[in-house]
């Protein structure tokens, strides 16, 4: 169901509030660029600092603007199982195609706890779950063996893998099977991830370069390695620059440079340093994304 370039959408703010018009403009820009799917209210969408009402509203805005043209995987994770169920239920009611459920941060559950957490969500709501495994933010790492157990549940459809472990997609494919969807959470490793059995990428860079990111995946599926390598080489400095500070600070600054939205963030995130601004601007110019 989920293949290609999925954009982890930023959430634009204006004077502290979600800028709904600009948000839907960003969604339409993605569709026009050929993006294969959208992911509202994930890490890049600053979900930790959105209220529940804002979180649900942004999900609804995305689904409304998409109009069924591409799949929407809504961020629904929480370190509270009950809260994750509430967000997953809302995503289903709003018309999302799946929920992206991050491994519980701060609590540090065991592998048995992870199984119980994801099983409870999948049992409670009849909507596909994409496991979001990101040890760098959640501290815990879901093992491939745990993922194999969870993959047997009819409502657990795949993983967003942000481990940057390029053996992981191969091991996951061999133990979970080819129908378990694997989406990279690391832009810079997308090509080797695909080569090891991945299906696509939930991308930060595609906020800025949606057409290029979609082109890379289209070329991969067409076995056009010349185009894959051209896009991959050109975008690597952009991938690196967009993570020179905690995301989404750099990508929001890039969006402001391109006239897409303001770079406004919510505390505890603050404006990126001047040295980081230079890195981002130089990368955009070098990739031909900014004049």
Q: Is it the case that residue 129 has pLDDT exceeding 90?
A: yes
The answer to whether 132 is a known catalytic residue is yes
Secondary structure (DSSP) of 92-147: HHHT-SEEEEEPPTTT---HHHHHHHHHHHHHH--S-EEEEE-HHHHS----HHHH
Q: What is the pLDDT of residues 99-109, one digit of tens each?
A: 999 999 999 99
Q: Which of 132, 252, 253, 279 is catalytic?
A: 132
pLDDT computed for residue 291 by the predictor = 87
**Which residues does 233 contact at the CB level (< 8 Å), separation at least 6?**
none
pTM above 0.75, yes or no: yes
Delimit the domains of the chain by residue range. Answer: 4-224
Q: In angstroms, rounded to a whole number, what is the distance separating the alpha carbons of residues 241 and 289?
A: 13
Above pLDDT 90, what percent of the chain?
99
pLDDT tens digits, 14-67: 999 999 999 999 999 999 999 999 999 999 999 999 999 999 999 999 999 999
Residue in 92, 118, 160, 253 annotated catalytic: 160
Q: State which fold the 4-224 domain adopts.
A: TIM Barrel (3.20.20)
């Amino acid at each position: 169901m989920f293949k290609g370039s999925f954009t982890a959408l930023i959430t634009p703010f204006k004077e502290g509030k979600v800028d709904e018009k600009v948000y839907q403009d960003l969604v339409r820009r993605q569709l026009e660029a050929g993006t294969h799917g959208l992911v509202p209210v994930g890490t890049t969408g600053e979900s930790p600092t959105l209220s529940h009402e804002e979180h649900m509203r942004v999900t609804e805005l995305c689904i409304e603007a998409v109009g069924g043209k591409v799949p929407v995987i809504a961020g629904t994770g929480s370190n509270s199982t009950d809260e994750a169920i509430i967000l997953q239920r809302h995503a289903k009611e709003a018309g999302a195609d799946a929920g992206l459920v991050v491994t519980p941060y701060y609590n540090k559950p065991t592998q048995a706890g992870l199984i119980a957490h994801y099983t409870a969500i999948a049992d409670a709501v009849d909507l596909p779950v994409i496991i979001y495994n990101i040890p760098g933010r959640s501290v815990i790492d879901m093992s491939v063996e745990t993922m194999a157990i969870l993959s047997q549940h009819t409502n657990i459809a795949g993983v967003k893998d942000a481990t940057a472990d390029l053996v992981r997609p191969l091991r996951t494919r061999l133990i979970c099977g080819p129908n378990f969807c694997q989406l990279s959470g690391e832009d810079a490793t997308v090509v080797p991830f695909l080569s090891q059995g991945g299906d696509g990428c939930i991308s930060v860079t595609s906020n800025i370069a949606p057409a290029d990111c979609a082109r890379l995946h289209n070329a991969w599926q067409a076995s056009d390695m010349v185009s894959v390598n051209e896009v991959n080489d050109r975008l690597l400095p952009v991938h690196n620059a967009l993570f020179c500070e905690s995301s989404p600070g750099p990508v929001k600054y890039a969006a402001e440079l391109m006239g897409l939205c303001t770079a406004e963030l919510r505390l505890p995130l603050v404006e990126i340093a001047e040295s980081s601004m230079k890195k981002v601007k130089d990368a955009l110019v070098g990739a031909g994304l900014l004049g």
